[in-house]
Amino acid sequence: MSFGGPQWPQEPQQQGQQGYGYPPQPGPYGQQPGPGAYGQQHPGHGQQQWPQPRGGDGTPDWGALADASAAGDRRRRRLLVVGGIVATVLVGALVATAVVATNKKNDEAKTGGPTPTGAVTTTSSPTPAPTFSSVAPPPPPDPKDYITDPKKDKAPLTAEGLFPGRKLTMYGRPYKKGATSSTTNCASVTQGGLGSVLQKNGCQKLVRATYVRDGVAVTVGVAVFPSEKAALAAKKQASGGVAPLAGAGVGNFCHATVCLRRSNSVGRYAYFTQAGFTNGTKVTQKDTPVFRASDDLGTFAFNQIYARGKSQAKAAASAPPQ
């Protein structure tokens, strides 16, 4: 029976039983229906118990039927809600499993994943191993080689090249440049025994310049030799000194008096200084300005000789291979 909604619960018909609202019919052998024909629960079917008829006329109790139907609807709604929740949980679990599986697959693809033995991948070409030349590059040229070997030391040697400008400053002390000179007759511009020493060791050129500061004058001379050995010998054998060079605002000095003489060498060059007072005063061990001026000009000469070698080495390094 239906009221336009869910079906009412039906009682399983007993043998020979008819629908609701009709008097019981005799069975096939004239028997009356047994117990349970109207509303008693039958074991094993799990159905709601039917209400008993109101009277003896066999008319159903429609109110009781309506209550029973409402109770059945509520039970089915609860079952539907619980079933929906369980289905949602199951669907969520399946989606989560799919997401985890997808992420794992993507992660493996991103990181490359293990490659089966014998498989060939075409996503990227193998990176070639770096190769290195078995020949080591040549070391950079040594500036000392260019002030030691005459075959490499080819730059012009001039007074202006060694002593440029009109003044120099060493350690904050300025010196004004006086006269300069250059000669291949090395012995002609020396004093005492230095001339013979230079000549014996094969001096090729001697370049001089004078500097003055606060009443102290210094003449520095740079002599070039055919080898480092010859220059070192001239330094060790030196006696006397380079002749003081006057002119260009500097008067005569270091004549008939005591002056400070020094000698040194680097590569195939030897350099000498003669320092004293411009007023002819004799130099003593206490005259610090004279010693300081001699140190400054000796350091300047060394720096200029080394710079000569450095510039030639740099030019050789940047020259195209031959």
Domain spans in the chain, listed from the N-terminal domain onward: 45-105, 144-312
* Predicted local distance difference test score (pLDDT) of residue 319: 75
Q: With a cut of 70, which residues of the chain have pLDDT below it?
A: 1-73, 75-138, 321-322
- Contact status, residue 21 vs residue 27, Cβ threshold 8 Å: no
CATH architecture of 144-312: 3-Layer(aba) Sandwich (3.40)
Give the pLDDT confidence score for residue 79 in this predicted structure.
Answer: 60
Residue in 254, 259, 243, 257 with CA at minimum distance from that of residue 294 = 259
Tens digits of residue pLDDT in 64-103: 666 666 666 676 666 655 555 555 555 555 544 544 444 5
pLDDT digits 0-9 by tens, 159-211: 999 999 999 999 999 999 999 999 999 999 999 999 999 999 999 999 999 99
**Alpha helices per DSSP H over the chain:** 62-110, 143-146, 159-162, 194-200, 228-237, 288-318
What is the value of pTM for the model shown? 0.58
Give strand pairing partners of 218: 211, 275
> Cα torsion for 220, 224, 225, 228, to the nearest 10°?
80
